[in-house]
Structure 1
Amino acid sequence: NNTNSTEIRSFVFYLFFTLALLFYISVIFANTLLIVIIYVNRNLHEPMYLFLCNLFVNEIYGSTSLLPCLMVQILSDTHEISVFFCFIQIFNIHTYVAVEYGTLTIMAYDRYACICKPLHYNTIITTRKVQIVILVIWVVSFLEVGVLLSFTIRLKRCGTVINNIYCANHLVVELSCSSDRTVSLIHDLIFGLIFSVAAPVSYITYSYIKILSVCLKASTDTKTKAFDTCTPHLISLIIPYLCIILSLYVMIIQPLQNPIIYGLKLSKVRCACKNMLTLKASQLYRVLYFHKYSAV
């Protein structure tokens, strides 16, 4: 019985490891493919697609912060992580979330400017401004999470067990027996929830209310255009909250969700992807064809 239970346990662990590995490969492949497509196609060098490219880079960053460590833990018998790597993971994961919502917020403003102020759009949103905004999002996210961790690192920890599949700041704070624990939890609430999530979601909601009010008065073509460009953005916002309600980890779902949504829904990206894959297939065929007749 013990032998059978051990074999079943090993089989389950190896199954989870395989699924996690396949999922990670899919995330890297899908996001990298769309980044390359946006980079090589000059007609996609527009503000919205630059924001999407930043989003895809962040998905690779976020999934790499979680999945490799998770796969190691699946195959480990002790399920241990050093304090140093735990804080590194906290920094990476919290930065990922901050950049994610920061990018989605700017994308909401981009859609608002495009639909509500179309005549001034090219003046309001320029490539140079987009590059600066993307840089600011990353710098602010690093600084925000760095300040948050500076309070957590100083706490004296009395516990060593985290009941989660990855390290999170509030879980490490809960292990503390220091008198500053309450202060750290308050900072976690302010930086982690209000600045990173609540404020961006509030602005995104406001932007789409304004977009909806304009669309209600617009022509059918404008409504269709607004629906096509805004739907992927709304889906990428709604699904994380459904995942939270269903107790699924956003860190696992989100990195593969966005490239699928934007890759399938946005016609320019879909056509560029199709053209690239067709071109690569034809080049491969010519190489094989030439090799065949050269051998003859």
Structure 2
Amino acid sequence: MSIRFDDKVAIVTGAGGGLGREYALELARRGARVVVNDLGGSRDGTGHSDAALKVVKEIEAAGGQAMSNGGNVAEYDQMADMVARAKEKWGGVHILINNAGVLRDKTFAKMDPADFEFVVRVHLLGSAFATKACWETFREQNYGRVLMTASSTGLFGNFGQANYGAAKMGLAGLTKTLQIEGAKNNIRVNTIAPTAGTRMTQDIFPEALFDAFSPEKVAPGALYLVSEDAPSNVILGAGAGVFQASYVTLTPGKLLKGDDLSVEGVAAHWDAIVSREGEIVPQSGGEQPMMIGRILQQG
């Protein structure tokens, strides 16, 4: 089975280098027409460059079709303009990979509130803005594939990355609601948590591992999640050719009544509350009160 994108138009944000560049190149190799979006700044979000245009030239040299876009994901009007230009040139947009991001790492104690806000704006609001700009088109054509980029930092935490982690966990939550709202219009929304050796991680990775975690070893997972037969509501970990699934789960918990319905009762029954025996993977927020209702009926 060969997975192709011949009749699809794809937008990849932050595609001037690293993971985004690899996604754009691979989409083009498989037939997609690609909007290569990149503001071209440094990893802290400052400055500009012609990074997107260079990737477009790579795609065209290989016989593919692409256009560059220097829009800032953190500005909704620029994302709307990007989508309008893609539709004008190619008639639609079918795939969006939200990959653009920045880093401004410091411990929370030393972090400037402006740096917290900026990182959340680029990652979380930027992904929401780009997705919103595509959303009505996806609904009209009854087809859309969206990939959000989370991180192990967002899912599990990491020292010195409070701003980045907050944004990345927010993206996983955004995915879970959008995949519900988009389902009736064949819009599938997923999350990838990549681990790759890129400009963003070059001073974090040991040199010996940098090449082992190259972006092309993440791209197969990303492209599957935006393919025609993609699942929806998946959190996929990817790095060095290893692919993993993460889940948000819910334990059955413990019903407390009488004297046990107290602070002391919660402490006394803590082991039962957090026991993972019988835990579920809810597909929507409504499953939590439904589970509580079943426990009340039983208890």
TM-score (norm 1): 0.28
Name which one, 1 or 2, has greater alpha-carbon Rg.
1
**Larger relative contact order (Cα-Cα within 8 Å, sequence gap ≥ 6):** 1
Q: If each structure's helix is expressed as a fraction of its own residues, which one has the higher value?
A: 1
